[in-house]
Each structure stands twice: as structure tokens, then as C-alpha cells.
Chains A and B, each alone.
Chain A
Amino acid sequence: MSLSADEVRRVADLARLELSDAEIALMATQLSAIVDYINQLQSINTDGVEPLAHASDVHDIFREDVPVVSLPPAEALANAPARKGDFYRVPPVFGE
């Protein structure tokens, strides 16, 4: 099975990943080879097998609903690429 350049572009768009034309061409070849390899799983009979998302036996862990100290704004914002006061600054979301 091979992935077309258009299919790679569609996936890159879903992943919010800008790829150059050269990267798209390389991905199409490499992902096709990997997907071919992965397709060996289709030969295994998994009828009636429950998916295993997690090897741990612990589920639904809750803590007491009590307030705990959070990061102060200055520390939480210290790594922001752009900020305005105590806010992260981003380009306009609406009306682009």
C-alpha cells in the first residue's frame, strides 16, 4: 500500500505540521513502507479480544477535592513565547 502526496498533506494538516515538498515526498515513501510493515497485524485473528489501552490495573483514581497550591502566574507564564500582562498572547482567533 502506498500513501499519496495528497494523503500525506491531509495528515500533516490534521497534525498541524508544516512540511516542505521534499519532506512530503520523503514521508510518502517512508510512511508507505512502515504502513506496509504494520499491515502484518491484519493477519492475526483478534475476534472477541478486548483492546488493551493500558497495562496498569489501576483505574479511576481520584483525590480528595481540596484546593492545593498552584503555580503562581509569574512562574506559569515564564516560558510563554509571547505574553501581555498575565495572559498568553496569540494571533487573533476570529476574523483572520
Chain B
Amino acid sequence: MLNLTATELLQKQAAGDLTAETIALAYLQRLRETEPRVQAFLTVDDADVLAQAKAIDARRRRGEPLGRLAGVPVALKDVLCVKGQRTTCGSKILRNFVPPYDAHVVTQLRAADAVLIGKTNCDEFAMGSSTENSAYQITHNPWGHERTPGGSSGGSAAAVAAGQAPLSLGTDTGGSIRQPASFCGIVGLKPTYGRVSRFGLVAYGSSLDQIGPFAHDTRDAALLLEVIAGHDPRDSTCVNQTVPEYTRMLDQKLAPLTIGVANEYFGEGLDPEIEQFVRDALKVYERLGATIKPIALPHSPYSIATYYLVATAEASGNLARYDGVHFGHRAETFTGLIDMMKKSRGEGFGTEVKRRIMLGTYALSSGYIDAYYLKALKVRRLIRQDFDRAFADCDVIVGPTSPTAAFKIGEKVSDPLAMYLSDIYTISANLAGIPGISVPCGFTKAGLPIGLQILAAPFAEEKMLRVAHMYERETAWHTRRAGV
């Protein structure tokens, strides 16, 4: 059962072969067996999980209509607020924070009758690319114990890859869904900025953050996106646009299909083994009749520098709320109000969060704001214009998700810049606000998964999913499961 997709779990429940309770029990057991090695979860409340599942079974027995994810366990990155359940953001500063409300995506999941199985580990406040910046634990990659699962949504990606949950949600500010999906051999999708409400998502970089699904295949990812997407007046950047039926259109091949390939995504730093599998994937598309067209994204080499100014500037403002006054950690001893704030923050935040607050504060400080922050916003527009021009000539842009497969735990922790560079291919999509998906496209000789990134124009998720599904139907990479 644990190798089934969410779509199959729904079919088997409808046919009477499985109940939500048996599904929940099986996943909880798998979770308990594998957690000592994977460490993907920060909070799991077995009794609550089973109560949710039993309630759905009872309603099914009474013949009541059920939601689109009825009885399917979904894990949540621990930056998403669940009413009454501890939400830590992987930070000591929120060790005891219990949200008084549900995030919008959680409300949507409950309305769809999903079973919320638990909260997953992540880099502190989603700042990182390996999940090593969590204040609580190191999550291990199910495909290689000594490897990171990527990050920052590493717990959500590892949970699906390890068969602890069929679906999960992560957040992507610079690649934090797509890169861990690539490292863990699963599908991960970052929606267009504004497609999914950020209400109840603890903010990191507000103009970049988006919530999106992890799944074993594109159909499950499309299904979960359908459930969480849509207008919510509580997030003023969330657009009032009909959500397409992604799952219904999925099987329709896109024809004609023009795939843009950017030289900038195949340059120095790309592991030749990864490049080979990505080139092979392009050949699959060619066999399906697609036209491969060279495109240029001349400003993409500047995306990391731009991101680390925009995201940190926004973070320095967003994280000002952790001051020991309203919620979160307060220092025990201090002298006066300002000292209370400084000590509470100094004790509560980890090194990477401090580094980013410092960088953002510096970039916004008097004398530097024009040279750094405003300059970055101008380059951001150039990056967006690159994509606008490219999508006038092609339907999607295809390339590697990450320049390497999963790196080793500890390999990059002492060199922040090297860690930042692992997001080189994902980060510009956040700056431009466009959607992206990573799908499995091979394995290295060492047995580590490789991800193919497909980028599309704003609100072209339907097209992006159909293109991803075309490849998935021709290959079997997505059916491989990690043996934990």
C-alpha cells in the first residue's frame, strides 16, 4: 500500500478495498519504523491522525459526500500554521509557539478531507538548501543516509521519498521545493507567485514565498495543487483567477510543443552526469515531436546575488516580529526593553538566520540601500524581462533542477556561499514569479536521484504539468522507491 500514489489510494477507498483508518495506520507504522533513520518529522500526533481518518470513514459509511483528498495523508512543512499544533519553523525562537489559526492551505486540505499526518523538519525559517539549519534535527536523504535531502523543505521531500506520506506541502522561496524534490527523486512544484494564498505561512521573503506540493508523480502533484490553489482575500497578493482542472487536462499532450533550452543552465559547475540525463530527457521530448529551441537568459548568472539582497532585505523586516514581546522566546535575564529584544533574538535565532538578518539589514541601511537593495530590484526586473522574452518563443524552459545530486551532510555548512550556489537554476523563477516543477529524470552511478526542471510563464501551470506528464509517461524514474 505504501508504494501507491494518492490517486490510487483514493480509487481503492472508493472501491471499498481500503479505509482511511487502514491507510493512516500503515503510514504511521512506516513512519515509526523509518523515522530513526530519516528524521523527517518534528511533530506527529498519532491519536489525532487516527481520529481524522476514522471521522472520514464514518462519513463515507453514512454516504456523505467526501472531499478530493479524502483519507489521504498529507505532511506539512513546519512553517505552515495548524491551529492548536506546535509550529516551530525549525527554530528555537518558536519552540513553544501554538498558532491560534489554520493557514489557508490547511483550511483547504481539511475541506478536501485530507488527513494531516504531521509537521516536517526544515531549515530554520526556510533559510537553507540542506535542512541542516534546523535547530532540532538533521534529516537524512532516503536515497543515501549520509546525504542531505536538500532544503529548505527537506523534511517534506524526505517524508514522501521514504514512504512516510504519499503527499506533502513545502514552500519555495529560492528553490526550496524543487531542489529537495530533485535530491529525493520525487515531483515538486512551485506555483506562480499569487496562485496559492500565503495566509498562515510564516513569512521569510514575502515577494518570493510560495507553497506547493510534493508527490510521487505529476498527477498527484496536480491534484494537490488543485486543492490548495485559489483566491483568498487574506493574502492581498493572491489572485482572483479560476483554478484550472489540472488533473483533467493532464493526459492531453501539448502539440505543437517548443522547448526552450538556455545555455546559461548548462555552464560551469554542472555535473556532467547530471547534464547527460537532462540531455537524454530532451531527446525524449524530441522523439515526442517537440522542437528544441535555444533561448537566452542573459541575466540569470546574477540571480543568486539578486536573491540574497531581495530575500534577506525582506527577511530582516519579516523577522523583526520575533522580539520576545508577543510570542516566541524571551530571554530570562536582561536589562530593559531593547536588551530584552537583543538577547531574545540572539539566543533564539540560529547562525544562518542571523547571517541573513544581518545581510538584509545592511542592504537596507542608510548609505547602502541604493547600491544594494534598489540595484537588486532593478536587476530583478531584467531577470523577469529575460523570461518574458523567452516565453514569447517557447512553451516551457527545460534544464537541470540542481547542478549536482544530493551533497553530503556537513559538506557545505561552513561555506554559506557554496550552499547558496546550489540554488543557481531554481532561484530566478522566484524573482520572476513564474512556476516551476522538478521531476525525476535519472540516477547517478552512486544511486542518487536527478531532477529535471520545467519552467513556464506565469499561471501556465496547466501547460507545465502536461509537458511534465508527457515525459513521465515515457519513463519510469518516478516509479522507483527508496529502500530505507
Q: Which residues of A contact B (CB under 8 A)?
A: 3, 8, 11-12, 14-19, 23, 26-27, 30-31, 33-35, 37-38, 40-42, 44, 46, 49-58, 61, 63, 71, 75-76, 78-82, 88, 90-93, 96
Q: How many residues of B contact A (CB 8 A)?
A: 71
**A15 CB to closest chain B CB, in angstroms?**
4
Q: Are B380 and A52 in contact (CB under 8 A)?
A: yes
Q: Mark B332-362, 1 if CB is under 8 A from A, else 0.
A: 0011111111110111010100110111011
Q: Are A38 and B194 in contact (CB under 8 A)?
A: no
Interface membership of B227, Cβ < 8 A: no
* Dominant secondary structure at the B interface: helix
Specify which of B239, B345, B433 is in contact with A17 (CB 8 Å cutoff).
B345
Q: Are B337 and A79 in contact (CB under 8 A)?
A: no
Given that A56-B193, A56-B433, A90-B325 are contacting pairs, would A38 and B97 also be in contact in the complex, using a CB cutoff of 8 Å?
A: no
Could you tell me the distance between the alpha carbons of A8 and B278 in the complex, rounded to whole angstroms? 43
Specify which of A14, A55, A91 is in contact with B334 (CB 8 Å cutoff).
A91
Q: Give 5 A-B pairs besides A11-B362, A78-B98 with Cβ atoms closer than 8 angstroms.
A: A38-B372, A44-B382, A55-B432, A56-B239, A57-B239
Task: Enumerate chain B residues within 8 angstroms of A19, measured Cβ to Cβ.
Answer: 346, 354
Within 8 A of A (CB), among B283-328: 299, 302, 304-306, 308-309, 316, 320, 323-328
**A4 CB to closest chain B CB, in angstroms?**
12
Task: Enumerate chain B residues within 8 angstroms of A34, measured Cβ to Cβ.
Answer: 308, 359, 416-417
Interface membership of B377, Cβ < 8 A: yes
Given that A40-B302, A51-B377 are contacting pairs, would A81 and B330 also be in contact in the complex, using a CB cutoff of 8 Å?
A: yes
Task: Enumerate chain A residues within 8 angstroms of B320, measured Cβ to Cβ.
Answer: 16
Q: Are A11 and B355 in contact (CB under 8 A)?
A: no
Could you tell me the distance between the alpha carbons of A17 and B347 in the complex, rounded to whole angstroms? 9
Q: Mark B94-110, 1 if CB is under 8 A from A, else 0.
A: 00111011000000000
Specify which of A15, A58, A78, A81 is in contact with B236 (CB 8 Å cutoff).
A58
Q: Are B378 and A50 in contact (CB under 8 A)?
A: yes
Could you tell me the distance between the alpha carbons of A80 and B330 in the complex, rounded to whole angstroms? 9
